[in-house]
A and B are shown apart, each in its own frame.
Chain A
Amino acid sequence: MKPMTESTDGRGEAKRSPGIAADETSLDGLMPEIPSLLAVTGIGSLAFGFVLGALQGDGWSCFFHAYLANYCFVVSIALGSLFLVTAMHATRAGWGVSVRRIAEILAANLFLPALMFLPILLPLAWGHSGLYSWNDPQTLAKESISPAKAVWLSVPLFATRAAGYFVVWSLLAWFFLRRSTEQDLSGDPALTVRMERWSGPALVALGISGTLAAFDWLMSLEPLWSSTIFGLYYLSGAVAGAVAALILAAMGLQAAGRLRSAITVEHYHDLGKLLFSAVIFWGYMAFSQYLLIWYANLPEETGWYRSRLAGPWGGVALALLFGHLLIPFFGLLSREAKRRKRLLAFWAVWILVFHWIDLLWLVMPGATGEGFTSALIDLCLLVGLGSLYLAGAWQTAQGLSLVPLRDPRLAEAIGFENN
């Protein structure tokens, strides 16, 4: 939608747009103690949560469930960011160049989740079945799990697959961040072509690995239950969370005097549209899963919903219907909601909160504990894992430009206008 005289090469716009000052594009001089502060907060919170979990005296059920929920929350932000990067390349999005590097950095941080996965994996190897009941042969027999599924859900295969996911994700994230930063130096447009060429296969790999990871980590909490759409349900929530995180990260950086000229209200408008569509897509997935199970009414399928729609979790399910779909749908519907920064920040926080509640809703009904201590453990682990993840992202961003400085579409992105 740019004037024709300038659309042929974009040089006209580059001349018109103010150049991006060097101090706008790096984290240098922005409180260097932040990463270590975040790391200390994270480890402290984790330790506190660990103590609280030990005091529960429920065989670590509450602690590990809360850990898994928050772990999947943090991973979902990284996965969603990786999806945004690949999707921008796949669609040759001009507008997104302004915010793409932030998403690249959030995604490149995926090596940390690999480390964070050890507290889930090691207890499994030691025979703990408080989180994944399939680790107990008696449960497998009692719930009449098929032999093939029992093999699929054995610890060695589970660990191998997890390693596979981390390798795929790290490779993808590393590839896109490296090529992009390489371009910062060389300005070679061929790198853009190369990233675009790989974005399609990357999306396929991401979809398959993300679906399998959701099956492994979240769906297998109830080993009898299965839903083929569940992976997309998790990934759609991940994209909503990642867009919200991206909006907040961009706003935070701008408040700290970074990226002032690179990101304009037009980019927030587009991010708002993405947030809106991710919210609708999440609702679409959630309802598609629910409708089929509700209609068929098969005991081995409805059991999962029974523990999540009856009792206190039923209230949470209703809260999700309104808070994760209906209210933000109308809240983000108008153009103004996406163009007013404070309003959009409000909705980004709102979506992040409900995305977190969504993951608690998926995981926590299997835990034994309830009440205040349980909620406190949830929060401790959110702060713990979230801070560590942010510290890692900050560390990754050190020495990198916060925008793809010499991306051939940067001028187009800065001059971009909605209409």
Chain B
Amino acid sequence: MSETEPKTANPAAEPILAGMLAEFDGPEALLAAAAKVRQSGYRRWDAHSSYPIHGMEQAMGIRPTLLPWLVLGAGIAAAAVAIWLQWWTNAVDYPLVTSAKPRFSLPANIPVAFELIVLFSALAAFGGALGLNRLPQFRHPVFSSKRFRRATTDGFFLSIEAADPRFDPAATLALLESLGPTAVEPCCDPAEARKVPAALCWAVAIGLVLAVLPPLWIARARMTTSDQPRIHLIQDMDFQPRYQSQAASPLFEDGRAMRPVIRGTIADGQLDADEHLDRGRSGAGWAASFPIPITRENLARGRGRFDVYCAPCHGLTGGATPDDLKREGRPDKLLAYGPVALRAMERIEGEQPGYNLWVMPRSLHEPSVVTQPAGQLFNTITRGLSTMPSYEAQVPVEDRWRIVLYVRALQRSRNSRVENVPEALRSELK
């Protein structure tokens, strides 16, 4: 039953006529008056009583509220958000198997969806009711009437705002008086009522400044270093009551906290059943093709993994090419060997051959390596070869294939022929 806030701005310092208030002696009189005012075409007016009067909606011509639709929309949105959020976090972004259920299991997601529907609906109902009633409102014309204070106890009032387009001091007054009120009075806002109170401005300003402090403090903490231990905000996440690996536990008969693999089961993601992807085989021999798409992203990832795991021995370029050896006898050490290989070479310099066990890493550009199928290179990374260890445990299977992809690119670039360059660009070669 609420109407609007006053909007007329008048810079003059004298009181402004903001509306007209009429008092009635009972609910029936108020109902009849409301029906007449509605017929007169006023829009910004309201009836005030201390309790709801049946039939007032019809008398005032208040249409059914939009609020149920807002709440319904919020509820449906909440269901969608809850299901999406759980699907994204549990099944896509950080796939996690819980209680041997599928990663995305609708039954497990219903409680969260239910709670979120309740939350969103309640917030929509609360905020929607405030918003549709144009609250909070700092001032209303009727506030200047002393008589109006009885509206919350035993008064029956009808107010018409000056902001209404049909408002005319004389005509409105005449209309109200024709409705049989016990009293009619104009409501005047004091001039200063139009201004926002200074205290409120200060409160808002101080509140804004205070609100900026925590983010600033967090930003500073993230950008600087400190010798203090970090603050543990969420204690039970940081200090979980759990066993470390290899720890003892009284819970189990064998006294171990770590549980052996259950016979006849395979852990999630460890099936290793794909001959091509997991073993690099195709039919009877090594696979020549890649089980991953050949894309720039995969190549870049392969380069990154190569530089981390392979370059320490093989060098950033993957070793010397036959041309390098022909040209100089010894290639550029820093490019052709990684730091581990270089240090080994330093250590064994001057020692008699045969007195050390160091085997130089093989150049990836030797013809015997260049001609190997991709699957064989993959197998070497997975299983290791002579003194090269297995990288199966450190490097996930897709990344091993990406490394093979990058090795192929390295081999291509270091052993390239003029024929490999597109004809249009050959003239640019020196």
Listed in ascending order, the chain A residues whose CB lies under 8 Å from chain B are 1-5, 287, 290-291, 294-295, 297, 333-335, 417, 419
Chain B residues near A1 (CB-CB < 8 A)? 52, 54
Evaluate contact between A417 and B51: CB separation under 8 angstroms. no
Given contacts A287-B110, A290-B107, contact A419 B100 (CB under 8 A): no
25 contacts between A and B (CB under 8 A): A1-B52, A2-B54, A3-B27, A3-B51, A3-B53, A4-B50, A4-B51, A5-B26, A287-B107, A287-B110, A291-B107, A291-B108, A291-B110, A291-B111, A294-B107, A295-B101, A295-B107, A295-B108, A297-B99, A297-B100, A334-B68, A335-B68, A417-B54, A419-B52, A419-B54
- Cα-based distance from A287 to B106 in the complex (angstroms): 12
Q: How many A-B residue pairs have CB under 8 A?
A: 32
Chain A residues near B111 (CB-CB < 8 A)? 291
Q: Is B335 an interface residue (CB 8 A)?
A: no
Evaluate contact between A295 and B99: CB separation under 8 angstroms. yes
Q: Is B72 an interface residue (CB 8 A)?
A: yes
Hey, what's the 0/1 contact readout for B35-68 against A, CB within 8 Å counting as 1? 0000000000000001111100100000000001
Evaluate contact between A5 and B100: CB separation under 8 angstroms. no
- Residue among A3, A295, A419 with max Cβ neighbours from chain B (10 Å): A3
Hey, what's the 0/1 contact readout for B11-27 against A, CB within 8 Å counting as 1? 00000000000000011
A2 closest partner in B (C-beta): B54
- Cα-based distance from A4 to B156 in the complex (angstroms): 12
Chain B residues near A417 (CB-CB < 8 A)? 54
Given contacts A3-B51, A4-B50, 10 further A-B pairs with CB under 8 A are: A3-B27, A5-B26, A287-B110, A291-B108, A291-B111, A295-B101, A295-B108, A297-B99, A297-B100, A419-B52
- Cα-based distance from A113 to B342 in the complex (angstroms): 95
- Residue among A1, A297, A419 with max Cβ neighbours from chain B (10 Å): A419
Interface size on B, residues (CB 8 A): 17
Evaluate contact between B27 and A5: CB separation under 8 angstroms. yes
Closest CB in chain B relative to A109 CB, distance in Å? 37
Within 8 A of A (CB), among B105-127: 107-108, 110-111
B100 closest partner in A (C-beta): A297
B72 closest partner in A (C-beta): A333
- Residue among B72, B107, B110 with max Cβ neighbours from chain A (10 Å): B107
Within 8 A of A (CB), among B69-89: 72
Hey, what's the 0/1 contact readout for B214-235 against A, CB within 8 Å counting as 1? 0000000000000000000000
Closest CB in chain A relative to B279 CB, distance in Å? 34
Chain A residues near B100 (CB-CB < 8 A)? 297
Chain B residues near A5 (CB-CB < 8 A)? 26-27
Chain A residues near B108 (CB-CB < 8 A)? 291, 295
- Residue among B50, B54, B101 with max Cβ neighbours from chain A (10 Å): B54
Chain A residues near B99 (CB-CB < 8 A)? 295, 297
- Cα-based distance from A85 to B107 in the complex (angstroms): 35
Chain A residues near B53 (CB-CB < 8 A)? 3
B69 closest partner in A (C-beta): A334
Hey, what's the 0/1 contact readout for B328-352 against A, CB within 8 Å counting as 1? 0000000000000000000000000
A333 closest partner in B (C-beta): B72
- Cα-based distance from A287 to B107 in the complex (angstroms): 9
- Cα-based distance from A2 to B111 in the complex (angstroms): 38
B64 closest partner in A (C-beta): A335
- Cα-based distance from A52 to B57 in the complex (angstroms): 60
- Cα-based distance from A287 to B99 in the complex (angstroms): 18
- Cα-based distance from A367 to B90 in the complex (angstroms): 41
- Cα-based distance from A291 to B111 in the complex (angstroms): 9
- Residue among A2, A295, A297, A333 with max Cβ neighbours from chain B (10 Å): A295
- Cα-based distance from A55 to B50 in the complex (angstroms): 72
- Cα-based distance from A350 to B24 in the complex (angstroms): 50
- Cα-based distance from A287 to B108 in the complex (angstroms): 11
Given contacts A297-B99, A297-B100, A333-B72, contact A3 B54 (CB under 8 A): yes
5 closest Cβ pairs, A-B complex = A4-B51, A294-B107, A417-B54, A291-B107, A3-B27
Chain A residues near B52 (CB-CB < 8 A)? 1, 419
- Cα-based distance from A290 to B54 in the complex (angstroms): 45
- Cα-based distance from A154 to B299 in the complex (angstroms): 73
- Cα-based distance from A294 to B57 in the complex (angstroms): 50
A330 closest partner in B (C-beta): B72
- Cα-based distance from A58 to B72 in the complex (angstroms): 51
Closest CB in chain B relative to A3 CB, distance in Å? 6
A291 closest partner in B (C-beta): B107
A293 closest partner in B (C-beta): B107
Chain A residues near B51 (CB-CB < 8 A)? 3-4
- Cα-based distance from A45 to B57 in the complex (angstroms): 53
Chain A residues near B68 (CB-CB < 8 A)? 334-335
Chain B residues near A294 (CB-CB < 8 A)? 107
Closest CB in chain B relative to A282 CB, distance in Å? 15
Closest CB in chain B relative to A229 CB, distance in Å? 15
Closest CB in chain A relative to B129 CB, distance in Å? 15
Closest CB in chain A relative to B58 CB, distance in Å? 11
Chain A residues near B110 (CB-CB < 8 A)? 287, 291
Closest CB in chain B relative to A186 CB, distance in Å? 32
Chain A residues near B72 (CB-CB < 8 A)? 333
- Cα-based distance from A4 to B30 in the complex (angstroms): 14
Chain B residues near A287 (CB-CB < 8 A)? 107, 110
A7 closest partner in B (C-beta): B51
- Cα-based distance from A335 to B68 in the complex (angstroms): 10
Chain A residues near B26 (CB-CB < 8 A)? 5
Chain A residues near B107 (CB-CB < 8 A)? 287, 290-291, 294-295
- Cα-based distance from A291 to B108 in the complex (angstroms): 7
- Cα-based distance from A335 to B26 in the complex (angstroms): 30
Chain A residues near B27 (CB-CB < 8 A)? 3, 5
